[in-house]
């Protein structure tokens, strides 16, 4: 059995490397008000993408560090309302890791 290497990406929030399958791809979509961030869980939307753990802690770090604009190479202010709703939504299919693992990854006690 041949084992293939999975592509790795870096989370824009916590800056940890992880397999691309564990990260949520995010793209900037242009609309009449500027650019807004959209989740791309199927990894099919066109354009440059940023990757992030589907976790509110990583999302908060990325917003605080203004990492989305740098990763997506956009200088204007980005609307992240839709992305915040997607990350905060407690669904079983979102792939959210357990809280203990997230706390250890971000460096916070549980």
Mean pLDDT of the chain: 83
Residue 99 lies in a domain: no
Q: Residue 57's domain is classified under what CATH number?
A: 3.30.1230.10
Residue 93 lies in a domain: no
Predicted TM-score (pTM) of the model is 0.75
DSSP character string of 18-61: EEGGGSEEEEEEEETTEEEEEEETTS-SSS-EEEE-SSHHHHHH
Residue 65 lies in a domain: yes
Residue 108 lies in a domain: no
Count how many domains the chain has.
1
Whether 93 shows a pLDDT value over 80: the answer reads: no
Average pLDDT over every residue of 70-79: 92
Share of the chain above pLDDT 70, in %: 80
Domain housing 50: 8-88
């Amino acid at each position: 059995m041949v084992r293939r290497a999975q592509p790795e990406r870096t989370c824009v929030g916590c800056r940890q490397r992880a397999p691309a399958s564990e990260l949520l791809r995010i793209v900037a979509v242009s609309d009449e008000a500027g650019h807004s961030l959209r989740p791309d869980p199927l990894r099919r939307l066109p354009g440059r993408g940023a990757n992030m753990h589907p976790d509110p802690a990583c999302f908060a770090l990325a917003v605080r560090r203004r990492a989305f604009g740098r990763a997506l190479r956009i200088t204007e202010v980005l609307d992240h309302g839709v992305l915040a709703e997607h990350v905060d939504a407690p669904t079983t299919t979102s792939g959210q890791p357990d809280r203990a693992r997230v706390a250890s990854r971000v460096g916070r006690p549980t």
